[in-house]
Structure formats: structure tokens, C-alpha cells
A and B are shown apart, each in its own frame.
Chain A
């Protein structure tokens, strides 16, 4: 008994020393750079989860963007198009090695791209005809002029992997890229650990290890930033960003991104079939009020469809404004009369519609409520239906969609022409998120011209013209732009965030102390 009693303190001391020793060892081992994001992987294939690997600096695309959103070379050092505008030649960088030490060549790049063009959803309606490679040269042929091709090749799903990355049936076996980090291990879903690649062709990573962790709850990401566990925490709510702004161990980076909260309308309905009626709806919206009170950033109030970070933004346009009186006048001019209960009516039909929205983008239902009360002020009745986002394309397809409040991404690739075509282009090229029942011959023709234009000035003029049409016709009604709130720990320096979310978070990052 006495022996046991003597042993207990000795055992406790041993445990304390062990714990203390492990703490010392832990502090001596360099911690990884931790990036916390809401998005987990949907599998290891870069076609669906490429954003994780490109944004961690593990996989690289042929083209990237510079700080201002313009195109910049990455694996392709330069590119040009043939005189007939149907053949693109990309010159690949010399001395680039994949993580398995295979050199980057035209042949293996062509092999990777063939799979991407065949299976990637980004290219499903693009006019790609063939791809071939030899030496450091890669040739992509198109069926018709396709000026946006380099911008498309900046998308994460076009990241180039080594031939050894693919198994049978061209399924992805492992991630073997060319980036400054290589994948060390992962659970394939929420956690990805990377180590610095010593044979990287460019500036090597100064932090030896990096970790990507998917944390779906925004408040948890904010708490991880606050506790110092996350070096970079992505996509925080405006409220969390505001709360963390005063903290002395983190910086808040708020970047405007080319994503827009907009009302998609069914122009086949009698309420939205004319431009003055759509303008009346737009004039009823107090965008500054919504931006200030709900989104906590006055700068997010949309004055046109595209935010200033987009090359499609047209600073010459008359900004969208809030003028309820003018809205009423426009509706009355269009034949709508106020009934006894204060709702506009025409031919016995109330100006009453359903707005469908979804909660996976948390601010949408709140903004919808604000819109409901603002529309009620001018005599328009709107009911809100919060459902799964898939209800919108489903109702769009069968034509029963009346209106929807959505968050639309115009920054899928640096040039928004793909989304513009899908939302406002010819009926055959339409997706399921843009305007319904609205079509403009002039817009269709401008889109076609744009895709065949290779001169910057001419392309800029077409963009201005399209933006003008969208501002005057309002096939969709912009409400607010998005801003992306990110925390960056003061433990690190050199972190830059680009609006198109293409440049790796880890690029140029180093420990600051």
C-alpha cells in the first residue's frame, strides 16, 4: 500500500514531464500554414475539386491572372492565335517538372487537356476541335473563333497533371501537378496536407508545410482565426469580419468579387414583359439601404450588373437608383392601377409574384425580406419562397419560375463572356440561371462578334455596348455585389487575395516572425 502511495506522485511527475516534453517538441517542429475554407472536395478529380489544389499552389494552369484580373502566363510562357483565328499555339515553359519528376511537355499537356475538354463541364459548349502537343509547343484548334480561350484556361478545372496521375479509364489516381506545394496526404474530403516542392520551376515556397481544411460553419472559421489556429480564414460573414476587425493578431481583407445578388425575372409574365415595368421594380429597390443595413458595406450596393473589379464594368453607365415615385409613375403609364388594398392591378390581375431564393447563401433570404417590404411600398405584392437552390433551374426549365433572388458568379473565368452568353445569349446557348423569356437580337450579335474579336479595344467596345443593353433592358435586376471577407493572421506576411480567386492563397506567403 505504502509502495503504491509512493508510486503515484512519481507517475504524475513522469506524465507531466512527458506532456511538457511533447509541448517542447511540438514547438520545435514548424507548424503548417493553415488555410480554412468553407468548401470541401467533391472527390479528388481536379475537374470537380481543382480549386483546392490550384489555390493551394499544388496544381497549375496554363494561364493565370495578374493582380488586376488581367491574363498572365503560368505554365504557358506565351500564346498566339493563327491568322484564321482557329488555331492557338501555347509555348510551354522550359524546365518545369511534375511532382513525380516527369518534365512538362506538349505531349503530356495535350493528354491532360484532352481529358479536360472531353469531361470538363466548363467546355461543354465551347468550340474546341482538337488539341495536340510536341516539344514545348501545344496547339488547340477551334471550330470557330474563340477569343476567350486563354481566359478559360485559367479556370482551376484546367490544371495540368502528370500522365502518371491517371489510372484506368482516365480516372484520377493521385494528384501530381507542377506547383510549389505537392500533396502529402489527405482524407480526400476536408483536409489536405501539402509539403514544399524542392524542384519547383519558379519561386519556391518558404513555408515548408501547408494545410487546407474545410470548415463549413462560418462562425467556427471566425473562431479559428481569432484563436490563431487559422492563418487564412476564407469567406466570413460581414458581421464576423466586423467583429474581428479590431483584433490585434489578425488583418481583415475585404475584396470585391465578380459575384452579384440579382433578381432573375420571367419576362413572359405580364408584370415583367416590358422594360418600363422591370425598371419600375428596379427603382423600388433601396440598394444603399440594403447594403448598409444588411450587408454592412455601402460599397456593395449595385449600380449596374458588373462590379468595378470586372472588365465588363462600364463606368459610363447611369447608375441604378432608388426612386419609388418614378416607379409608381412607370407602372401607371404601363396601365397598372392601384386597387383599394393598395396593390397595382391590370385587367383584373394583381401585380403579385413569388420570389424564389435559397439559404445556402445566408444573406439571400434576408435581402429578399427587405425587397418584399420595398416592393410593398410602391404597391407590388411579393411572396418569398425559400427552397433548395436546385428549385430555380428546375422551375426555369418548365417555365414556372416567376422571379428568383440568386447569387450569380460572373468570375468563373477572368472574362465573363461564358456566363453572359449563358444568361443573356441566344436561346440555344442559355443555361438555367439567367433571364427567362427575354432575348435581344442585338445582344446575340454582339456576343458572337465578341467571341470572334481578338483586338482589345474592339472587345472593350463590345463589352460596353452589352453592359449598356443590360442596364437599359434589365433582363435581370442587380441588387448588390459581393465582397469576400478573409482574415489573415499577422504571423504571416505576403498574402494577396485576387477578386477572381485564381492566384494561390499560399503564393509568396512567409512567416513574419
Chain B
């Protein structure tokens, strides 16, 4: 238990450092790029038609963009310590509220897409892993390569054309009901499932070649029992690590899918904020994404710790 707590603390410390570094890099990158922050904010807030030099100067003054960059940065750090991420320069909304709103939808989509990918990948990968090199494995390998190489927006458009336009089963875009979640989640889930299934198949094939697996069969256990008791558990560790990385990737936003399905996730928010140079939102989103990666890493570590006796024993003895 002590090892777990120590591991969590280490990850948390690393996470906070990483998040702060990422947010700082975001601030530096936005200010290093050519252009005027006040001007970009004015255009995003009032449109090109109502933006002129007077409006830009007013925004510069009101938002404190005329202060030295170092002062702006340290004021932000001082606010972050008190859990205040400030207000959006464009909409004047609290950044925490904005991030919470968008993160809710991102989490919903990421969780559903991961579930879809697991539901597809698990039986598919096990089937291929049990008969490696067989016809099923060979065909599935080709299908996976094809699915991975097809861009997500193509999969999304094909699903819209078939399920929404032709069959009228599901809505095209929006976020008003669970039905709106289905096509975006499948769009993301299919690609993830293709890769996950290969990871599962390879991992399972490796485990099936291990001594302990063959010993299980030799001592008289049924093939199903050996697979479920010894194979699945041991094959799960690389799979869970991989799914964790995928989930973290989904949580930091999938802009193409969010744009295509008008899904109000964090990726679209970040993209719009970068285009509008909305620095408080960019920094807040960077912080959040940094922390999310750490949370996912901790969760994956805990699951692996619970599943893998070698890891437990190693940490206990060390």
C-alpha cells in the first residue's frame, strides 16, 4: 500500500510540473508567433467588420495586454495557485467554467469511444490471438491496416451517409440525446479497435507461447480455462497500457471528429482559442490536458499493479 501511495505522489508531482511546463510553453509559443494578441481577440470577439485600431487599443488596455509579458505570466501563475484560471479574453467567461463544459463532452465521447473500441477489439483480438497466423488473423490484419489508414473524417462521413441520410436511424450532428453520441463514438472507436485488436492478438499469442501457459494445459486444465485463468490476465497488461494511452489521446481532444459532428469538446475549444490567441483558455486547457495524462497514467499503473504479481513483488522487495 505504501508503494502505491508513493507512486501516486510521485506521479502527481510529475503531473503538476508537466502541466505547468506545458502551460508555460503554450504562453511562450502564442506570444512568440507573429501577430498582435489584442487584434486577434478583437476580431474573435467583435468580428472583422467591427474591428479597428481604437477597438484593439481598448482591448489591449482592458485586458492588461499592454503589460510586460513576464508580468502577465507571473500574474497568471499567482492566480493558478489560488485555483483561479482567469477569464476568456474573447467571451469573458470564467476559464474553469468553459473547461468544465467542454471537458464533460470530451469525457463522454472519449469514454464511449473507448468502450466501443474495447467491445469490438476484445473478441476480435482474442480470436486472432488464439489462432495466430490463421486465416482469421491474416484477414483481420489486412482489415486493421485498412481501417487505421482511413482518415477519421472519411469513416465519419460514411457512417453519416449510411446511418443518417439513407437509413434515418441516427442524427448527423449535435449533442442533445444519447443517439447523438453513437456515430462520433463509432467513428473514433473503429480506428482504435483496429489497433487494440492487434495489440491483444500479439499479446495473447506471446502469452500462449509462455511456459506457464503450456504448463497449465499440461496439468489438465481445459483450453478455455487456461485461456481465461492464465492467458487473459497476463495478456491484459500491455493491452491496458495501450488503451490508457489511447484514452489520454482522446481526452486531449479530437478536433476533426468534434468539428464534423459539432461536438463541443476540448479539442475544438483549444483550436478556436489558439486561433483567437485566447491565452488564459490556452493555458488552462494545457494545464488540464497535462493533469489528465497524469491521471490516466496513475489509473493504468494501478490496474497493472493489481493484475501483475511480478510488479507487486518487485515493488515490495525493492
Contact = CB atoms under 8 A, between A and B. Distances in A.
Given A213-B262, A216-B262, A227 B92 contact: no
A511 B190 CA distance: 39
Contacts of A122: 50
Interface in B5-44: 34-36, 39-40, 43-44
Nearest to B168: A227
A227 B264 contact: no
B194 to A, nearest CB: 24
Contacts of A191: 174-176
Contacts of A220: 172-173, 259-262
B46 to A, nearest CB: 5
Residue of B35, B55, B56, B91 with most partner-chain A CB within 10 A: B91
B262 A214 contact: yes
Given A217-B260, A388-B35, A223 B160 contact: yes
B50 A389 contact: no
B166 to A, nearest CB: 9
Given A187-B101, A217-B260, A224 B49 contact: no
A42 B91 contact: yes
B43 A43 contact: no
Interface string A383-414: 00000111101100100000000100100100
Contacts of B55: 121, 124
Interface residues of A, number: 42
B52 A217 contact: no
B171 interface: yes
A153 to B, nearest CB: 16
A431 B52 contact: yes
Interface string A411-433: 01000000100100000000111
Interface string B48-82: 11111111100000000000000000000000000
B40 A412 contact: no
A227 B35 contact: no
B93 A188 contact: yes
A397 B164 CA distance: 49
Contact of B164 (A45, A223, A431): A223
Contact of A412 (B49, B52, B264): B49
A394 B173 contact: no
B229 interface: no
A158 to B, nearest CB: 13
Interface in A179-224: 187-191, 213-217, 219-220, 223-224
Contacts of A332: none
Size class of B's contact patch? 35 or more
A409 B275 CA distance: 21
A512 to B, nearest CB: 19
B205 interface: no
A190 B264 contact: yes
A213 B174 contact: yes
A124 B54 contact: yes
A389 B172 CA distance: 31
B90 interface: yes
B50 A217 contact: no
A388 B164 contact: no
B165 A227 contact: yes
Contacts of A394: 35-36, 39
Contacts of B312: none
Contacts of B101: 187, 189
A273 interface: no
B53 A223 contact: no
8 contacts: A45-B92, A217-B259, A227-B164, A227-B165, A227-B171, A229-B173, A412-B49, A419-B49
Interface of B: 34-36, 39-40, 43-46, 48-56, 90-93, 101, 157, 160-161, 164-165, 168, 171-176, 259-262, 264, 268, 275
Interface of A: 41-43, 45, 48, 121-122, 124-125, 187-191, 213-217, 219-220, 223-224, 226-229, 388-391, 393-394, 397, 406, 409, 412, 419, 422, 431-433
Given A227-B172, A422-B52, 17 more contacts: A42-B44, A121-B50, A187-B264, A189-B264, A191-B174, A191-B175, A213-B174, A215-B262, A217-B262, A219-B260, A220-B172, A227-B168, A391-B34, A394-B35, A397-B53, A431-B52, A432-B51
